[in-house]
Amino acid sequence: MIMKNLFLTFIAIMAIAINASAKSWEPVITNVSSSVVYQNGYTRSNGTYVQGHYKTRSNNTNLDNFSTIGNYNPFTGSIGSIAKDYSAGAYNYGAGRTIHVGSRGGQYYINSNGNKTYVPKRSINSFLW
């Protein structure tokens, strides 16, 4: 039922995006093309291949990312599930862990494998005390 509603919503958005002069079809996706880039496939150091995919350009926030709550990925049809930066939901990620701040402002904790796991940004004061 949810997928049917999403599909119908997507169709409605596409219908609205049609050029009024009917000279061409312009889906909503073309309006955000400057913020969407294609990430080529690559092989990780452990040998795992990561398939190429579309993503939003890197910036200092997750508010416009496909994976953020309230956002929709038109390429995969998925709905975002990660809390927005500085939202109340951001405090649930990495609970009980020491949150570090990277050189470019990203916030993360070290997981059980010794790797960085990035989390939505929290207020700096929330983990200094």
Which range has the worst mean pLDDT, 40-44, 52-56, 90-94, 108-112? Answer: 90-94
Condensed to tens digits (0 to 9), the pLDDT of residues 52-86 reads 999 998 888 888 899 999 999 999 999 999 999 99
**Mean of per-residue pLDDT scores for the chain:** 78
Q: Are residues 38 and 70 in the same domain?
A: yes
Q: How confident is the model at residue 125 (pLDDT cuts 50, 70, 90)?
A: low
User: For residues 120 and 127, is the Cβ–Cβ distance under 8 A?
Assistant: no
The predicted model scores a pTM of 0.56
Provide the domain count of the chain. 3
Between 20 and 119, where is the model more confident?
Answer: 119
Q: Are residues 68 and 91 in the same domain?
A: no
Task: Compute the distance between CA of residue 87 and CA of residue 128 in angstroms, rounded to an integer.
Answer: 17
List the beta bridge partners of residue 34. Answer: none
End residue of a domain, out of 67, 82, 97: 82
Q: Quote the domain boundaries for residue 68.
A: 32-82
Q: Are residues 41 and 71 in the same domain?
A: yes
User: What is the DSSP track for 11-24?
Assistant: HHHHHHHS-TTSSS
List the beta bridge partners of residue 100. Answer: 108
Q: Are residues 99 and 78 in the same domain?
A: no
